[in-house]
């Protein structure tokens, strides 16, 4: 366990802490940048904890700590030393036994609660919770840990069947099997997309008819009047993976839904958030077909869909999460329809970005010349096989116009990564 900075900075970590609410963020990926800023604006002291010293958030957090997040003893010792008021799980590499020790202290609060933190990286457990315990509508599903198991699942469940990685893959590695010859390619595609070090396990589910994929952001906080839930306007999304492995995910808000479907979606999101427990932001993924809504998954960490809300809501998803962590009042007011295109890549590990060129500078200029547009270019650690590269955002008088503008900005921005 090492701390960034000299001994005087380490001493200040202990001396100055009681005057500010200390939040330890376990995981320092660039997706959490806006969360760090939101917490700091509200007076919190943020300690960014990760396994490597050049994590993207180490430059902006109040303190940085290098810890093997997957080592129970090392992580537990770091948390005891920091004595934070809140520990926020922002990585799926976190040792769960250390999180149990956090809860046992009685001083530090875990965000989300222990159950949510444990299930965040356990798709099988999350699906069992939704289908068996909560009785939520889901597509019939199975998990397989080999090609042979996947073949048995297909024989039992029948075709067509959708297959994807059983761990987070940022939307990549999805296939639809329609015949026996699709089984092995679907397995290979899903396992490869999960990334190095991920378990060889896939989720296979019966293909259900749906019109749209929707994310509902639910904000759960404990205030003076007790626990409360706020819901953001629904966010529609779709993923497009190119043959070269590049992935683009499009988001738009608000996504149109019938009153019946919206009520069902809100009910599902509320039940999931309450079952997982604790404060924070829950991104509940749903499949919508007319008035029917199926539970598809949930994310309890800083969430890609929340990036869109940086321009569409009075308080972004990251600001809402920060307020929920600190027990402050929230609102989910939509101020403008908007859309976003999030660009990922599979650049080989170790490849370095070159020096800025006139072409790159013109790409940014062209993207920002689109009406009501904005862009973000992400930092990253080279060990990540699938990385967020850039985001094109746009607002407009309606979702259709916003999507067109975001698409134009994304085409220009994409020239940064030919």
pLDDT, tens digit, 9 for 90 and up, residues 355-364:
445 567 789 9
Cα–Cα distance for residue pair 257/383, rounded to 1 Å: 40
What is residue 186's predicted lDDT score, i.e. its pLDDT? 94
User: What is the per-residue pLDDT for 103?
Assistant: 82
Q: Can you tell me the mean pLDDT for 79-90?
A: 93
Least confident of 37-46, 285-294, 351-360: 351-360
C-alpha to C-alpha distance for 416 and 19, rounded to whole angstroms: 44
Nearest to 171 by CA among 91, 240, 236, 120: 240
370-393 per-residue burial string, b: 16 or more CB within 10 A, e: under 16:
bebbbbbbbebeeeebbbbbbbbb
Look over the chain and give the mean of its residue pLDDT values, rounded to a whole number.
86
Question: What is the spatial distance between Cα 45 and Cα 280, in angstroms, rounded to a whole number?
Answer: 17
Q: What is the Cα–Cα distance from 165 to 195, expressed in whole angstroms? A: 10
Separation CA 84–CA 164 (nearest Å): 37
**357 class by beta-carbon count within 10 Å (0-12 exposed, 13-18 middle, 19+ buried):** exposed
Which helix (H) or strand (E) segment holds residue 357: the answer is none
How much is the pLDDT for 313? 98
pLDDT tens-digit profile of 119-132?
A: 876 777 888 899 99
Q: Minimal CA–CA distance to 64: which of 3, 21, 1, 11?
A: 3
Report how far residue 283's alpha carbon sits from residue 296's, in angstroms, rounded to the nearest whole number.
11
DSSP helix/strand/coil, 398:
coil
Work out the widest C-alpha separation in the chain, in whole angstroms.
65
CB proximity list for 18: less than 8 A, separation 6 or greater: none
Prediction pTM value: 0.86
- The pLDDT value given to residue 5: 44
- pLDDT value, residue 365: 94
Whether 167 and 130 have beta carbons less than 8 Å apart is answered as no
- Of residues 131, 247, 244, 149, the one with CA closest to residue 202: 149
Residue 353 above 50 pLDDT?
A: no
pLDDT of residue 144: 94
Predicted pLDDT of residue 224:
64
- What was the pLDDT predicted at 19? 73
Q: Is the dihedral of CA 104, 109, 115, 120 positive or negative?
A: negative
Using CA atoms, how far apart are residues 100 and 201, in angstroms rounded to an integer? 26
Yes or no: say if 229 and 253 are a contact pair by the CB < 8 Å rule: no
pLDDT score of 11 more than 70: no
pLDDT in tens, 50-63: 988 888 898 899 99
Contact, 26 vs 95, CB < 8 A? no
Q: Between 258 and 383, where is the model more confident?
A: 258
pLDDT score recorded for residue 351: 43
Asked if the model's pLDDT at residue 345 lies above 80, the reply is no
Question: Between these two residues, 11 and 131, which has the higher pLDDT value?
Answer: 131
Residue 201, pLDDT score: 87
Question: Residue 394 CB: number of other CB atoms within 10 A?
Answer: 30
The two three-digit tokens of residue 152, written as one number: 């048995």
More confident residue, 162 or 223: 162
Predicted confidence band of residue 199 (pLDDT cuts 50, 70, 90): confident
Q: What are phi and psi of 65, to 5 degrees?
A: -135, 130
3-state helix, strand, coil in the chain (%, to 5): 40, 30, 35
């Amino acid at each position: 366990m090492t701390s960034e900075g000299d001994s005087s900075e380490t001493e200040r970590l202990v001396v100055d802490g009681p005057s500010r609410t200390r939040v330890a963020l376990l995981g320092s990926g660039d997706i959490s940048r806006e969360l760090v800023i939101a917490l700091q604006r509200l007076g919190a002291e943020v300690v960014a904890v990760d396994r490597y010293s050049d994590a993207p958030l180490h430059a902006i957090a109040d303190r940085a700590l290098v810890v093997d997040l997957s080592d129970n003893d090392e992580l537990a010792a770091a948390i005891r030393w920091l004595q934070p008021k809140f520990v926020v799980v922002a990585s799926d590499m976190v040792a769960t036994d250390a999180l149990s020790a956090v809860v046992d202290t009685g001083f530090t609060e875990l965000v989300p609660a222990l159950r949510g933190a444990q299930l965040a990286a356990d798709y099988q457990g999350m699906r069992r919770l939704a289908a068996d315990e909560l009785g939520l509508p889901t597509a019939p599903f199975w998990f397989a840990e080999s090609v042979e198991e996947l073949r048995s699942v297909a024989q039992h469940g029948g075709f067509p069947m959708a297959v994807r990685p059983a761990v987070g893959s940022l939307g990549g590695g999805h296939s639809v099997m329609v015949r026996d010859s699709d089984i092995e390619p679907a397995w290979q595609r899903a396992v490869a997309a999960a990334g190095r070090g991920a378990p060889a396990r896939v989720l296979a589910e019966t293909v259900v008819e749906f019109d749209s994929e929707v994310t509902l952001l639910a904000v759960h906080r404990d205030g003076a009047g007790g626990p409360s839930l706020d819901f953001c306007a629904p966010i529609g999304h779709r993923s497009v993976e190119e043959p070269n492995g590049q992935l683009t995910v499009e988001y738009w808000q608000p996504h149109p839904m019938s009153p019946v479907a919206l009520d069902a979606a809100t009910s599902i999101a509320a039940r999931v958030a309450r079952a997982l427990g604790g404060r924070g932001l829950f991104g509940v993924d749903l499949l919508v077909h007319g008035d029917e809504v199926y539970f598809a998954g949930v994310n309890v960490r800083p969430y890609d869909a929340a990036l869109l809300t940086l321009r569409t809501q009075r308080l972004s998803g990251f600001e809402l999460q920060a307020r929920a962590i600190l027990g402050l009042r929230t609102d989910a007011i939509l101020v403008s329809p908007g859309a976003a295109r999030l660009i990922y890549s599979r650049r080989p590990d170790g490849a370095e970005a070159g020096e800025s060129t006139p072409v790159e500078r013109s790409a940014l200029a062209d993207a920002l010349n689109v009406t009501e547009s904005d862009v973000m270019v992400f930092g990253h650690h080279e060990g990540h096989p699938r990385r967020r590269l850039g985001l094109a955002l746009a607002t407009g008088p309606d979702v259709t116009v916003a999507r067109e503008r975001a698409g134009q900005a994304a085409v220009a921005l994409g020239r940064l990564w030919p």
